Amino acid sequence: MSSTFGTLLRITTFGESHGGGVGVVVDGCPPRLALDEAAVQAQLDRRRPGQSRIATPRDEPDRVEILSGLQDGLTLGTPIAMLVRNRDQRPGDYGTLRDVPRPSHADYTYERKYGIRATSGGGRASARETIGRVAAGAVAEQWLRAAFGTEIVAWVQSVADVEAGPVAADVVDRAAVDATIVRCPDTAAAARMIAAVDAARHDRDSVGGVVACVCRGVPAGLGEPVFAKLEALLAQAMLSLPAVKGFEIGSGFAGTRLRGSAHNDPFVARGDGALGTATNRSGGVQGGISNGEPVVFRVAFKPPATIAREQRTADFTGLEVELAAPGRHDPCVVPRAVPIVEAMAALVLADCALMQAARRRP
């Protein structure tokens, strides 16, 4: 188990889908930040199930309690522990899953790794684990905004084979993202995405998609070569999320098809004496360090593994069986993944910002 992430801003998450609750300890948050607790709750609300017809019908309020680290609304610089109680436990739902590992889920690998696993709800591999990340990310985000004016906005770029048109990374905001239940700011594409999710749910199946994210107002100089390059930490952060199979920054895989002369971002003068780049195929990062341009990346989410549709597979003993997973499932996780991606981005950026601050001459 490795449930701690970050160097100076360090989070530790805990909890599974059963048990007393899930949560996080945020260690290293700078002191004297006026923490907006409602904004933390708001990001959790964007993550919770039951928000719309395209998400799982589990309807959990996911109210966060802040246990420590605050006094009169200000952070003390001490660990901020946040707890969300589990409410809607239905261990009975998962009875048939004791014997049959769900294909492409974590049942089999947890059993091989630990010799034991939570027999209900996916345990630590449940999407519920991300609650602590979102709460922590909301704290990090507030600090980034106060310190640098940083804005982080993620959205759904594609669902199955429905791709959004170009999204204006320099201006897109959360209101535009949340305007559709699928969280795609291209409303025409959004309608087709929703139709794709509806169709999958009707077929008791699931669909995947791509979440894009932009971070504006990231100061130049963040990222710690060579192993904690900004893109390396973002990649780790994103691939640590359930169901993620890919990450690309800036031009990504498509950029490999260009020649250097077409790919390079020419420098241009900025008004403030700094340099900017005329294009941003670098995705805001050069040599592992932010260059002041927007940080732009994309994250690939596979279709959820747990589906109600029958699948031929083997049980733990190797016998071939037909499995139709009981329980309520998300046919598509990407709309709910939007605040999770934002949270992980905020945690990485804030940690890098603190590391860079340490380098300043006293």
User: Which of 272, 302, 115, 287 has its CA nearest to residue 205?
Assistant: 302
> Could you tell me which stretch among 51-59, 109-117, 165-173, 177-185 binds a second copy (CB under 8 A)?
109-117
Per CB under 8 A, the list member of 115, 166, 175, 202 interacting with a second copy is 115
Restricting to residues 61-100, name those near a second copy by CB under 8 A: 65-71, 74-81, 83
Q: For a second copy, which is the closer residue by CB, 208 or 335? A: 208
Is residue 155 a contact point for a second copy (CB under 8 A)?
A: no
Per CB under 8 A, the list member of 58, 291, 343, 346 interacting with a second copy is 291
Q: Which residues contact 356 (CB under 8 A, 6 or more apart)?
A: 219, 221, 222
Residue with tokens 């930040």: 33
Per CB under 8 A, the list member of 38, 168, 175, 269 interacting with a second copy is 269
Q: How far is the CB of 150 from a second copy (least distance, A)?
A: 11
Radius of gyration from C-alpha coordinates of the chain: 21
3-state secondary structure 106-123: CHHHHHHHHCCCCCCCCH
Is residue 294 a contact point for a second copy (CB under 8 A)?
A: no
Query: How many residues touch a second copy (CB under 8 A)?
Result: 164
Determine contact, residues 164/182, Cβ cutoff 8 Å: no
Restricting to residues 158-177, name those near a second copy by CB under 8 A: 158, 160-161
Is residue 217 a contact point for a second copy (CB under 8 A)?
A: no
* H/E element, 276: strand 275-277
Q: For a second copy, which is the closer residue by CB, 175 or 261? A: 261
362/339 Cα distance (integer angstroms): 36
Q: How far is the CB of 179 from a second copy (least distance, A)?
A: 22
Q: For a second copy, which is the closer residue by CB, 153 or 305? A: 305
Restricting to residues 314-343, name those near a second copy by CB under 8 A: 314, 316, 318-320
User: Which of 216, 174, 172, 157 has its CA nearest to residue 349?
Assistant: 216
Per CB under 8 A, the list member of 61, 178, 311, 326 interacting with a second copy is 311
Restricting to residues 174-213, name those near a second copy by CB under 8 A: 200, 203, 205-210
Residue with tokens 């025409």: 188
Is residue 216 a contact point for a second copy (CB under 8 A)?
A: no
What are the residues facing 193 on neighbouring strands?
A: none
Per CB under 8 A, the list member of 34, 170, 309, 324 interacting with a second copy is 309
At 238, list the tokens.
Answer: 């994103």
DSSP state of 257: T
253/251 Cα distance (integer angstroms): 7
> Could you tell me which stretch among 53-61, 174-182, 187-195, 247-255 binds a second copy (CB under 8 A)?
247-255
Is residue 141 a contact point for a second copy (CB under 8 A)?
A: no
CB-neighbour burial class of residue 194 (10 A; exposed 0-12, middle 13-18, buried 19+)? buried
Q: How far is the CB of 236 from a second copy (least distance, A)?
A: 4
Is residue 119 a contact point for a second copy (CB under 8 A)?
A: yes
Q: For a second copy, which is the closer residue by CB, 23 or 339? A: 23
Is residue 282 a contact point for a second copy (CB under 8 A)?
A: yes
Collapsed DSSP state (helix, strand, coil) of residue 150: coil
162/302 Cα distance (integer angstroms): 14
Q: Which residues contact 171 (CB under 8 A, 6 or more apart)?
A: none
Is residue 249 a contact point for a second copy (CB under 8 A)?
A: yes
